[in-house]
Amino acid sequence: MPVAPYKNPELSVDERVADLLSRLTLEEKAGQLTQYFYTGTGEPIPEGLDIESLPPEHRIHVELPARIEAAVKAGRAGSLLFIRTPELSNRLQKYAVEESRLGIPLLFGFDVVHGWRTAFPVPIALAATWSEHTVEAVQSAAAREARAAGVHWTFAPMIDIARDPRWGRMIEGAGEDPVLGAAMAAAQVRGFQGDFGDDKLLAGPKHFLGYGAARGGRDYDDAEISDSELWNVYLPPFRAAVEAGAANVMSAYMDLNGVPAAASRRLLTGILREQLGFDGFVVSDANAVRSLAVQHFAADQKDAAVRALGAGLDMEMCAFDPAFDTLPDAVANGSISEEALDDAVRRVLTVKFRLGLFENPYADEAASDAVLASPEHRTLARDAAEQAIVLLKNAGHALPLDANAIGRVAVVGPLADARRDLLGPWIFAHDTSETVTIVDALRAVLGEDAVSYEAGAGLPERLHPSPFDVLDPSIERTPDDYDDDAAIDRAVVLAAASDVAIVVVGQRQNQIGEKASASTLDLPGRQLEQLRRIHATGTKVVLVVVSGRPLDIRWADEHVPAIVQAWYPGSRAGEAVAAVLLGEVSPAGRLPFTWPRHVGQLPLIYAHNRTFEPDDQDRRYFDESNAPLYPFGHGLSYSTFEYSNLTVGSPAIAVGDSTTVAVDVTNTGSREADEVVQLYVHQRYGTASRPVRELKGFRRVCLTAGETQRVEFPLTPAELRYWNSETASYVQDVTTFDIGIGADSTATLDASLSVIR
């Protein structure tokens, strides 16, 4: 019997897709556009099981998997998510490949955000490395582990620009700046997806578009974004991801300017496909199609399916009862054309062929354990965490600590010994026994007798429990006595009897992320009170902050000599923190956001427009400075650097031409260290007001003591143009640019460039 053309690997992908598409029924086409949550145990559903007899809380884990497995066998499911093991992946894939009519393999997705078994630093921390090379390497390792577990597709990177740190999901992105965000987006797509190799994942940049601008920083709330901000701020990371080859994009939940993003033809077709040239497939976020009716946009689920598909959405992600089940009827009654349905199915099938699933649908169960246990990945996790750590303050050279003369060390704070919290949110296949805590690492270097630990002030639970905790059995519960006076007293007594107190403060991992927006940036619980009491003992204090957002540490900045932003560092958290505290590594992480003094300043960004009475910019509030606590790009080092000899290739260039900016950077200290060189520009005048400073280039360089390196940056029309809302187009003005180069957004070494006709 001749082999069907779609099964012939000698044919082109387009030919195979066309043949397979011609064989599908309307119901099977709708099935390819449906992705289900799979929350089963992994065991086959027992035949004859009386589901109705099960307790309600157990039914969802039996009834839904049973329905989903039946849909897979009937060719009515194209993708599943939350599959964690190669064994389960293979069992479900066998239903699709060997029991469905046409044998179309399933696409297994998962939120591989910053690691699988190995937990790497959270994405906002990866952005703090300002190293595209490191970020690409990290996500390549994460892809390798997830693919070994049977996963094909990650719902990452999240590349939403976040300018309000009350929004919990800022931890998944690269902060406030579009240039840094675009660089991180492209690096992650290259790492995750690359050339679609056997150890790669389909990358899924999200959320298109504007989710990071949710009103008031409240997750899922609507966003109102001007055209200028949309094109100049929120779009560049998605352009970079598309240009890096991303074959999937996820739409956003919320309304953008009054229209749900999951059903916006302007966004999904006009901008994403026609303007950016995206040719992959678009998936909704969880239940976003069904929610179109909830959002008072669609009349019912049939209307929701038609409007989403018509806008350019290709696949519906849902927990149950997909709206896309109604698409065959919609085609039959003329509400949607079969051509539109075919276009969506074609895009999904193309990716399945490009991933090689028709030839290699099954995971290699025998090889999985070796990949997941890779020591190289653990080393990379430590290296990335070291590169991400930001030294915020270091008065009087309080750091590094001298391991040979440190004396007695008190470590205080539950996050110093929290195996799960140090990993951060959005990681579910980890093994917390592999986490190296801060206490573990310091004792390993300094000795058990030198390091004493007290948890002290605990961390209160969330007011509303996290819905993601149910996916993670390793969540550490906080005891009811988190504010126990005796526990705080013990921590203060320990600190008073020690030579150094390393106080670790911050937020639990489930106090940030999705459904974890915050109304305040205050340290939770009684952590600040405890810090003040420890400081009052006279013992030298070093503060380590574990968080994914800036917190209100004004008091610490005024009183504590050394402050380290550690983020959620991952599996090798403690080793990285100890390496920085003890001087094995010179910190070179830089802030990917402006650190506010107070929540009342939000949103606070460095790239703001100059306004009336600009000299009063830092005095906008009568009761607080408008200046940040730390500027965008800030970070200190154990060495010192000097910038000199700033040159511009030509003092004047014609519109459309390019030039080069170069600067000498010298390590004037006594040790090797990294520096992040940052280039900013300001357009003085033109056809629109432009921000006072905009990042246009950066380079992380390593310099030995006394070494000078010439660092060059291109300035092309791409860096000098912007979207003008008056003309609804990109423009490059005849104008003069101020150029600044330095170590953060306050860069003072300056030059100018004229753009002429």
Let me know whether 562 and 655 are in one domain. no
> Based on the structure, what is the number of domains in the chain?
2
CB distance 350 to 13 below 8 Å? yes
Residue 4's pLDDT band, with cuts at 50, 70 and 90, is very high
Tell me how far apart the 2 most distant CA atoms of the chain are, in Å.
Answer: 86
Let me know whether 422 and 490 are in one domain. yes
Integer Cα distance of 450 and 406 in angstroms:
9
Residue 62's pLDDT band, with cuts at 50, 70 and 90, is confident
Helix ranges (H only) for 355-498 are 365-372, 375-388, 438-446, 485-496
The predicted pLDDT at position 39 comes to 83
Average pLDDT, the chain: 95
Of 267, 246, 265, whose CA–CA distance to 347 is shortest? 246
Let me know whether 450 and 558 are in one domain. yes
Let me know whether 586 and 645 are in one domain. no
Integer Cα distance of 459 and 522 in angstroms:
12
The predicted pLDDT at position 47 comes to 67
Integer Cα distance of 453 and 412 in angstroms:
6
Integer Cα distance of 355 and 195 in angstroms:
9
Let me know whether 573 and 438 are in one domain. yes
In a domain, 568, yes or no: yes
Residue 619: φ, ψ to 5°: -125, 40
Let me know whether 521 and 646 are in one domain. no
Integer Cα distance of 462 and 444 in angstroms:
33
Give the DSSP letter of residue 345. Answer: H
Query: Residue 585 is part of a domain; what is its CATH number?
Result: 3.40.50.1700
The predicted pLDDT at position 159 comes to 98
Integer Cα distance of 155 and 221 in angstroms:
21
Token representation of residue 143: 């892809």
Lowest-confidence segment of 41-45, 101-105, 552-556 by average pLDDT: 41-45
Question: Mind telling me the catalytic residues?
Answer: 285
Say if residue 116 is exposed, middle or buried (CB neighbours under 10 Å; 0-12, 13-18, 19+): buried
Tell me the pLDDT tens digit for each residue of 277-297.
999 999 999 999 999 998 999
pLDDT above 70 covers a percentage of the chain that reads 96
Q: Which of 590, 612, 628 marks a domain boundary?
A: 590
Token representation of residue 99: 């029991």
The predicted pLDDT at position 60 comes to 66
Let me know whether 563 and 681 are in one domain. no
Q: Which of 528, 559, 590 marks a domain boundary?
A: 590
CB distance 322 to 304 below 8 Å? no
Does 573 have pLDDT greater than 90? yes
In a domain, 86, yes or no: no
Integer Cα distance of 401 and 397 in angstroms:
9
User: Cα–chain-centroid distance for residue 530?
Assistant: 32
Mean pLDDT computed over 414-418: 97
Residue 468's pLDDT band, with cuts at 50, 70 and 90, is confident
In a domain, 403, yes or no: yes
Tell me the pLDDT tens digit for each residue of 247-275.
999 999 999 999 999 999 999 999 999 99
Tell me the pLDDT tens digit for each residue of 685-715.
999 999 999 999 999 999 999 999 999 999 9
Mean pLDDT computed over 33-40: 92
Does 465 have pLDDT greater than 80? no
DSSP reduced 3-state for 751? strand
In a domain, 437, yes or no: yes
**What does the DSSP assignment read for 91-103?**
HHHHIIIIISSS-
- Structural domain boundaries, residue 729: 641-756
Tell me the pLDDT tens digit for each residue of 128-176.
999 999 999 999 999 999 999 999 999 999 999 999 999 999 999 999 9
Let me know whether 417 and 514 are in one domain. yes
The predicted pLDDT at position 187 comes to 98
Residue 409: φ, ψ to 5°: -115, 125
Tell me the pLDDT tens digit for each residue of 381-398.
999 999 999 999 999 999
Integer Cα distance of 264 and 123 in angstroms:
28
Orientation angle between helical segments 375-388 and 573-581, nearest 10 degrees: 40
In a domain, 435, yes or no: yes
Q: Which of 568, 590, 612 marks a domain boundary?
A: 590
Mean pLDDT computed over 73-89: 96
CB neighbours (10 Å) of residue 542? 22
Amino acid at 594: T
Does 244 have pLDDT greater than 70? yes
In a domain, 250, yes or no: no
Which run of H or E residues covers position 124? helix 123-128
Pairing of strands 659-667, 641-648: antiparallel
Let me know whether 565 and 700 are in one domain. no
Say if residue 450 is exposed, middle or buried (CB neighbours under 10 Å; 0-12, 13-18, 19+): middle
CA dihedral 399, 404, 408, 414 (to 10 degrees): 50
Integer Cα distance of 685 and 591 in angstroms:
29
Token representation of residue 491: 């921590």
Does 345 have pLDDT greater than 80? yes
Mean pLDDT computed over 721-747: 97
Amino acid at 547: S
Let me know whether 572 and 662 are in one domain. no
In a domain, 383, yes or no: yes
Of 589, 590, 591, 705, whose CA–CA distance to 639 is shortest? 705
Let me know whether 427 and 544 are in one domain. yes
Query: Please, what is the Cα angle at 288 between 287 and 289, to 5 degrees?
Result: 95
Integer Cα distance of 193 and 203 in angstroms:
5
The predicted pLDDT at position 613 comes to 77
Residue scoring higher pLDDT (208 or 462): 208
Cα–Cα distances in Å, from 312 out to 154, 223, 237, 259, 304? 21, 20, 20, 14, 13
In a domain, 82, yes or no: no
Pairing of strands 735-742, 749-756: antiparallel
Does 44 have pLDDT greater than 70? no
Cα–Cα distances in Å, from 581 out to 93, 444, 455, 502? 48, 14, 19, 9
Residue scoring higher pLDDT (757 or 583): 583
The predicted pLDDT at position 480 comes to 45
Residue 42's pLDDT band, with cuts at 50, 70 and 90, is low
Give the DSSP letter of residue 357. Answer: T
Integer Cα distance of 266 and 339 in angstroms:
20
Tell me the pLDDT tens digit for each residue of 610-659.
887 777 777 788 888 889 999 999 999 999 999 999 999 999 999 999 99
Let me know whether 398 and 541 are in one domain. yes
Query: Residue 721 is part of a domain; what is its CATH number?
Result: 2.60.40.10
